[in-house]
């Protein structure tokens, strides 16, 4: 297809690669791989899949994002943003794991199409309150899902999926909390929070997992206490890379999973481009958003073939890469290879990691993800923004992410149209025009006098469906029928189909009443639209004037001819 440019950043960076860059990328990739390990395990388990699926996603997705993406330092993998939606699909009896794989592949295809058709910049137009609303909602939901493991609650049967019912069950079973399990979870949180004060290069989540795993292993082995580990919940964990399996697709599957796939694609696009933008600001680079979407799309198209889950650019891992000297996409590729080595050599040891420790890791992730300071700041903004923020937040928490994004975008669009309509003003000029005001022509007279029998209206702003009815109502409110109506359009940057239809009705109605319509100061692009819709024939070319001087002269000539 003409116009498609497939230019992964890796290709251009390798042209001027050096040993110095390789050394820096190797060190950064090693550290990022170690940082990504506990997060990949935690995100996999929290999403309702196995730990190995989380790591495989980080390996395959991370490799492809770095190899085919449009950012120099972006690190891809599973992220907290997808936990809620993945968990909902996996635990839906009608969908299950196969439904997740199909939805992820569909989302990958959508992301590729967004990149191919150069729609990467459109994601930036999603209102900020919506992004903050669903991000904070996801953070609260992730926190909620970790309460059972964090406090070691003994709950028989399946925990409800919805937010309110889940907390009802927690409160009913809170007397079953295990104090030692709680201590492991809280200690993990404390270690993660305190580690950066000692060293920013060592990931706090890894330190917490190592310390807590060793402590729990000796506790479970040499005492009567029993703290639940990953092995207790998932059994033996084998380091096996599954064979490629293509999910069976039916039209009913595609139709039922379409909304979910679109939400995964939107989430992936937002998070990856946000991460790339933040990275640009730190390292002084400029990513290719369309190529980044293509890379993300290919990653999400491939990871499900190996049983993986959705992946995207991860801000925390990307910043770790930058802070540790990562300079090119090679660092991301090395991070994936490091994870692969760990997966093959050490994966069985993951069975000894306590579930309470992983819950502590995810509590910290949810706290960092919540952006509560930004949330509080947005609450000081206009009421319309607050409404969008709160509605998106509560819909995410109480219902699901799909509903939240759909409703949030709808409300944001309606508010945007309302604001646009409010910015467009229509005024009636009674008897004369002050030349000291900005005009569309060079005026030599002190005042431009409006001839008797002529009315002048001015539209300031876009002439679209939000304003068209307002103008029609203003015309209807005028009881008199002048001989000529001059409509100044010098500040109308565009006109849409509703505006054209409204203006056409006005012209036809005025002709029936014996009133001429003269347009003044029409911009070239608006004139082209009007000409294409036949206004030059409807009004006459001499009734579409370049400026107010010519328009008033034309109106005066029409009035004199009618006398």
Cα–Cα nearest to 439, from 502, 480, 488? 488
* The two structure tokens encoding residue 411: 């409300």
As a whole number, mean pLDDT of residues 173-202 equals 92
Does residue 288 carry a pLDDT above 90?
yes
In three-state secondary structure terms, 432 is strand
Q: pLDDT, tens digit, for every residue of 302-347?
A: 999 988 999 999 988 998 899 889 999 999 999 999 999 999 988 8
pLDDT confidence band for 249 (50 / 70 / 90): low
Per-residue HEC secondary structure of 302-313 comes to HHHHHCCCCCEE
Q: pLDDT, tens digit, for every residue of 363-413?
A: 998 998 888 999 999 999 888 889 889 998 999 898 877 778 778 778 877
Cα–Cα nearest to 78, from 254, 240, 304, 229? 304
| Helix pair angle (251-283, 315-323), 10° resolution | 30
Structural domain spans, the chain: 20-155+172-415, 425-562
Q: Which fold has domain 425-562?
A: Transcription Regulator spoIIAA (3.30.750)
Bridge partners, residue 283, by sequence: none
| Number of helical H runs and strand E runs in the chain | 24, 9
Q: pLDDT, tens digit, for every residue of 1-11?
A: 445 567 899 99
Neighbours of 257 (CB within 10 A): 22
Q: pLDDT, tens digit, for every residue of 40-91?
A: 999 999 998 989 999 999 999 999 999 999 999 999 999 988 988 898 888 8
Q: What pTM, to 2 d.p., does this model score?
A: 0.77
Does residue 233 carry a pLDDT above 50?
yes
- The answer to whether the beta carbons of residues 331 and 321 sit under 8 Å apart is yes
**b (16+ CB within 10 A) / e for 419-457:** eebeebebeebeeebebeeebbbebeeeebebbebbbbb
The whole-angstrom separation of Cα 60 and Cα 315 is 18
* The two structure tokens encoding residue 521: 């100061």
């Amino acid at each position: 297809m003409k116009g498609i440019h497939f230019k992964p950043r890796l290709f251009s960076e390798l042209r001027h690669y050096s040993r110095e860059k390789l050394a820096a990328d190797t060190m950064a990739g090693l550290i990022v791989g170690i940082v990504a390990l506990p997060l990949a395990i935690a995100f996999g388990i929290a999403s309702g899949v196995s730990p190995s699926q989380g790591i495989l996603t980080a390996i395959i997705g991370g490799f492809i994002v770095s190899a085919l993406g449009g950012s120099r330092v972006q690190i891809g993998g599973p992220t907290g943003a997808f936990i809620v939606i993945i968990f909902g699909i996996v635990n839906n009896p009608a969908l299950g794991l196969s439904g997740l794989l199909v939805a992820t592949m569909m989302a990958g295809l959508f992301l590729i199409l967004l990149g191919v058709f150069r729609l990467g910049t459109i994601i930036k137009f999603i209102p900020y309150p919506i992004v903050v609303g669903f991000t904070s909602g996801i953070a609260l939901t992730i926190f909620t899902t970790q309460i059972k493991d964090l406090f070691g609650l003994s709950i028989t049967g399946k925990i409800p999926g919805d937010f309110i019912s889940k907390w009802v069950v927690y409160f009913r079973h809170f007397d079953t909390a295990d104090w030692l399990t709680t201590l492991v979870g809280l200690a993990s949180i404390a270690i993660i929070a305190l580690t950066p004060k000692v060293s920013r290069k060592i990931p706090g989540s890894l330190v917490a997992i190592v310390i807590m795993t060793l402590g729990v292993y000796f506790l479970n082995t040499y005492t009567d206490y029993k703290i639940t580990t990953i092995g207790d919940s998932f059994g033996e964990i084998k380091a096996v890379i599954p064979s490629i399996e293509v999910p069976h697709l039916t039209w009913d599957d595609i139709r039922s999973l379409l909304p979910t796939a679109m939400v995964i694609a939107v989430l992936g696009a937002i998070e990856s481009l946000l991460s790339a933008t933040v990275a640009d600001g730190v390292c002084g680079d400029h990513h290719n958003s369309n190529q980044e979407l293509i890379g993300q799309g290919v990653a999400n198209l491939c990871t499900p073939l190996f049983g993986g889950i959705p992946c995207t650019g991860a801000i925390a891992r990307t910043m770790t890469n930058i802070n540790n000297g990562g300079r090119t996409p090679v660092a991301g590729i090395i991070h994936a290879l490091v994870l692969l080595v760990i997966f093959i050599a050490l994966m069985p040891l993951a069975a000894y990691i306590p579930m309470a420790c992983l819950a502590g890791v995810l509590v910290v992730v949810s706290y960092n993800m919540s952006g509560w300071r930004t949330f509080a700041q947005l609450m000081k903004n206009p009421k319309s923004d607050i409404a969008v923020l709160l509605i998106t937040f509560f819909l995410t928490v109480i219902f699901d992410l799909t509903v939240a994004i759909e409703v949030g975008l709808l409300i944001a669009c309606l508010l945007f149209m309302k604001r646009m309509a409010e910015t467009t003003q229509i005024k009636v000029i009674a008897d004369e025009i002050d030349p000291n005001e900005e005009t569309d022509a060079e005026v030599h007279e002190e005042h431009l006098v409006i001839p008797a029998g002529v009315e002048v209206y001015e539209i300031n702003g876009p002439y679209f469906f939000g304003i068209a009815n307002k103008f029609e109502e203003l015309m209807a409110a005028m009881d008199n029928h002048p001989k000529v109506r001059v409509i100044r359009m010098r500040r109308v940057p565009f006109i849409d189909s509703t505006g054209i239809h409204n203006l056409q009705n006005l012209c036809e109605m005025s002709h029936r009443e014996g009133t001429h319509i003269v347009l003044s100061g029409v911009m070239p692009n608006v004139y082209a639209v009007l000409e294409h819709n036949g206004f030059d024939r409807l009004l006459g070319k001499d009734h579409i004037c370049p400026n107010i001087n010519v328009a008033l002269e034309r109106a005066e000539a029409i009035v004199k001819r009618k006398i």
